[in-house]
Amino acid sequence: TPGPAGSTTSCSLTRFLIEEQRAGRVGPDLRLLIEVVARACKSISIAVGKGALGGVLGDAGTPGAASVNIQGEAQKKLDVIANDVLLEANAWGGHLAGLASEEMDHSMPIPDVYPRGNYLLLFDPLDGSSNIDVNISVGTIFSVLRCPEGVTTPGDEHFLQPGTAQVAAGYCTYGPNTTLVLTVGHGTHAFTLDREIGSFMLTTRGMRIPEETREFAVNMSNQRHWQPPMQAYIADLLAGTTGPRGKDFNMRWVASMVADVHRILTRGGIFSYPLDAKCEAKGGKLRLMYEANPMSFLVEQAGGAASTGRARMMEVQPSGLHQRVPVFLGSRAEVEAAVGYHLEHD
Binding residues for substrate: 127-130, 219, 285
Distance CA 304, CA 131 (A): 27
- Of 225, 213, 280, nearest in space to 252 by CA: 213
CA dist list (Å): 133 to 55, 59, 64, 137, 144: 11, 9, 18, 10, 30
Among 127, 276, 300, 334, binds ligand AHG (CB under 6 A): 127
Report the C-alpha gap between 102 and 83 in whole angstroms: 9
Cβ nearer to ligand AHG, comparing 105 with 248? 105
CB of 79 to Mn ion, least distance (A): 6
Q: How far is the CB of 271 from ligand AHG (least distance, A)?
A: 8
**Size of interface with ligand AHG, in residues (CB under 6 A):** 12
255 binds ligand AHG (CB under 6 A): yes
Residue 207: phi, psi to the nearest 5?
-65, 140
Q: Which residue ranges are tagged as binding site for Mg(2+)?
A: 102, 124, 126-127, 291
Alpha helices in the chain (DSSP H): 13-22, 28-50, 77-91, 156-159, 228-238, 257-267, 293-301, 332-345
Coil, helix or strand at residue 136: coil
Pick between residue 126 and residue 201 the one whose CB is nearest to Mn ion: 126
- What are the Cα distances from residue 208, in Å, to 8, 44, 188, 204, 305? 14, 27, 8, 10, 12
**Closest alpha carbon to 122 in 72, 73, 174, 158:** 158
Window 35 to 94, contacts with ligand AHG (CB under 6 A): 73
Compute how many other C-beta atoms are within 10 angstroms of the C-beta atom of residue 156. 16
Using CB under 6 A as the binding rule, whether residue 265 contacts ligand AHG is answered as: no
Q: Which of 45, 75, 118, 129 binds ligand AHG (CB under 6 A)?
A: 129
Q: How far is CA 37 from CA 33, 86, 128, 333, 346, in A?
A: 6, 7, 19, 33, 41
Interatomic CA distance for residues 145 and 266, integer angstroms: 26
Q: Which is nearer to Mn ion, 154 or 294 (CB)?
A: 294
Question: Where does this chain touch ligand AHG (CB under 6 A) — which range of 2-10, 157-165, 227-235, 254-262?
Answer: 254-262
Of 102 and 300, which CB lies nearer to Mn ion in the complex structure?
Answer: 102
Nearer to ligand AHG, 97 or 126 (CB): 126
Q: Given the complex with ligand AHG, which of 42 and 262 has the nearer CB atom?
A: 262
Cβ proximity to ligand AHG: between 77 and 285 the closer is 285
Binding test (CB under 6 A) with ligand AHG, winner from 122, 257, 289, 325: 257
Q: Which does 256 bind (CB under 5 to 8 A by kind): ligand AHG, Mn ion, none?
A: ligand AHG
Among 98, 109, 117, 128, interactor with ligand AHG by CB under 6 A: 128
CA atoms within 13 A on the CB side of 106: 8
Instruction: Decide: is 8 part of the binding site for ligand AHG (CB under 6 A).
Output: no
Q: Are 101 and 83 in contact (CB under 8 A)?
A: yes
Backbone angles phi, psi at 198, to 5 degrees: 75, 20
* Distance in Å, CB of 261 to ligand AHG, minimum: 9
With CB under 6 A as the contact rule, which of the stretches 6-14, 161-169, 190-198, 251-259 interacts with ligand AHG? Answer: 251-259
Under rule CB under 6 A, residue 130 binds ligand AHG: yes
Does residue 117 contact residue 149 with C-beta atoms inside 8 Å?
Answer: no
In angstroms, what is the minimal distance from the CB of 123 to Mn ion?
9
Q: Does 23 bind ligand AHG (CB under 6 A)?
A: no
Q: Is 124 in the site for ligand AHG (CB under 6 A)?
A: yes
Q: Give contact residues for ligand AHG (rule: CB under 6 A).
A: 73, 102, 124, 127-130, 219, 255-257, 285
